[in-house]
Structure formats: structure tokens, C-alpha cells
Amino acid sequence: MISKETLFALSLFPYLGFLWFLSRTKLMPRLALMGFYGTLVFVAVTIPAGIYAQVHYGKSLANVDWLHGSAESFLTVSNIILVLGFRQALMAAKSSQ
């Protein structure tokens, strides 16, 4: 059986492929693309935060509220940027009609 850590690490490769293809298309709104890349920042922040929680508190990241909330804020910001990018593209498409 594959561990959840291994599955998490392997899931990065399809996501990197997804980002590669998105960055090659001219139709992808730039701001939305930045939001998708922000998700990688979330992952990059979450991994060391999880290690810190385990080493210093002996708990998983989800059980250290201040650290978990701080890490999740990167995902929140990424999602906001993503939505704003698609909203901007929709508004531009409406105004060009």
C-alpha cells in the first residue's frame, strides 16, 4: 500500500505538468495562472510547517492552530488571486462583445 506522504509527493508531478501546459496557452488569464502557481507556494510553505509542528510540538500541522492557519492563508490568497483572474477575463470578454 502507498503511504499518504508518497501519494502527496507523487501528486506534485501531474500538477507541475498542468502548470506547464497552462503557462503555454495564450488563453489562460495571467492573474489566474499566478493563482495556480500560488498553490505551489502553499505546498512549499506547508511542508516545512508540518515538519516544524512535528519536531517542536510532537503534533501534526492540523493540530497546531497558529501554524496551520498561517500556512492555510497562502492557499486562501492563491484562491482569491485565481478567482480575480478568471473574473477579470470574464469581464474583458463581456466588454468586447
pTM of the full structure:
0.83
> How much is the pLDDT for 19?
96
> How much is the pLDDT for 9?
81
33: left (phi over 0), alpha (psi -120 to 50) or beta: alpha
> How much is the pLDDT for 74?
92
In sequence order, which residues have a C-beta less than 8 Å from that of residue 68 and are 6 or more positions away?
Answer: 49, 53, 61, 62
Closest CA to 34 of 82, 76, 75: 82
Long-range CB contacts for residues 87-96, cutoff 8 Å, separation at least 24: 88/29, 88/31, 89/29, 89/32
CB 86 within 8 A of CB 75: no
Per-residue confidence in pLDDT tens, the chain, 97 aa: 888 778 888 888 999 999 999 999 989 999 999 999 999 999 888 989 999 999 999 999 999 999 999 999 999 999 999 999 999 999 999 998 8
> How much is the pLDDT for 1?
80
Q: Which amino acid is at 19?
A: L
> How much is the pLDDT for 8?
80
In sequence order, which residues have a C-beta less than 8 Å from that of residue 95 and are 6 or more positions away?
Answer: none
